């Protein structure tokens, strides 16, 4: 399996014939404040009206500590830095389910035909104006298929970043697992609940 560089080797990236511009049909919501969870959700649904800051805050406020997967992570001030509990509950309001992916499993087990998109939690650099601070903070991003190809729809990017087809996507997951650049308990895939699927596409716990 050949691997596509992921913001890596510049020389290798330049040698690949990648699309120079994203197709116009891709909806890519850009970063505002600490609303990366909101942007990731709207990007995975390809709809700027899928969720609003107000709807996510309402979801957060009605979640009790007993229903939270990680109750120690909260957005008490409503600043938009929502955790996985809010994302999982938000997806359920649309008839979709967040399935926890255990990165110890072989990525070839993911049944991509049953997956609408991926929401990941990655460490991201903090910036203050034009300055990049020597600090890292967790950041939600979306990866999904549009028009037969997969794109990184990170809200911090200027435009969608082309990944490739299924083999390139699986290679990306393998590389991320190998370098440990994303957390085990923060990588989610979303799938439509109405599909009765085997464990290979459902039970990533």
Residues marked active site are found at 36, 139, 154
CB atoms within 10 A of CB 112: 14
* Token couple for 75: 């957005």
- H or E segment to which residue 39 belongs: helix 36-45
Indicate the angle between helix axes 84-93 and 36-45, nearest 10 degrees: 30
Indicate the angle between helix axes 53-62 and 84-93, nearest 10 degrees: 110
Beta-strand relationship, 96-100 and 131-146: unpaired
Backbone angles phi, psi at 7, to 5 degrees: 50, 40
| 78/71 Cα distance (integer angstroms) | 15
| 186/62 Cα distance (integer angstroms) | 22
What are the C-alpha distances in Å from 129 to residues 5, 132, 137? 28, 8, 16
């Amino acid at each position: 399996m050949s691997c596509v560089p992921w913001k890596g080797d510049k020389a290798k990236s330049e040698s690949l014939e990648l699309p120079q511009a994203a197709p116009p049909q891709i909806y890519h919501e850009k970063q505002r404040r600490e609303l990366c969870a909101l942007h990731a959700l709207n990007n995975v649904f390809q709809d700027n009206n899928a969720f609003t800051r107000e709807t996510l805050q309402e979801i957060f406020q009605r979640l009790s500590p007993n229903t939270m997967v990680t109750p120690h992570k909260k957005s008490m001030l409503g600043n938009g830095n929502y955790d996985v509990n809010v994302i999982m509950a938000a997806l359920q309001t649309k008839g979709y389910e967040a399935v926890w992916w255990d990165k110890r499993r072989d990525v070839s087990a993911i049944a991509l035909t049953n997956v609408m998109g991926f929401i990941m939690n990655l460490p991201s650099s903090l910036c203050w104006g034009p300055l990049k601070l020597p600090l890292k903070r967790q950041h939600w991003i979306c990866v999904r298929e549009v028009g037969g190809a997969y794109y990184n729809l990170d809200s911090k990017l200027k435009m969608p970043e082309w990944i490739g087809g299924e083999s390139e996507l699986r290679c990306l997951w393998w590389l991320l697992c190998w370098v440990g650049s994303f957390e085990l308990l923060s990588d989610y895939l979303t799938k439509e609940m109405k599909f009765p699927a085997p464990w290979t596409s459902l039970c990533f716990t």
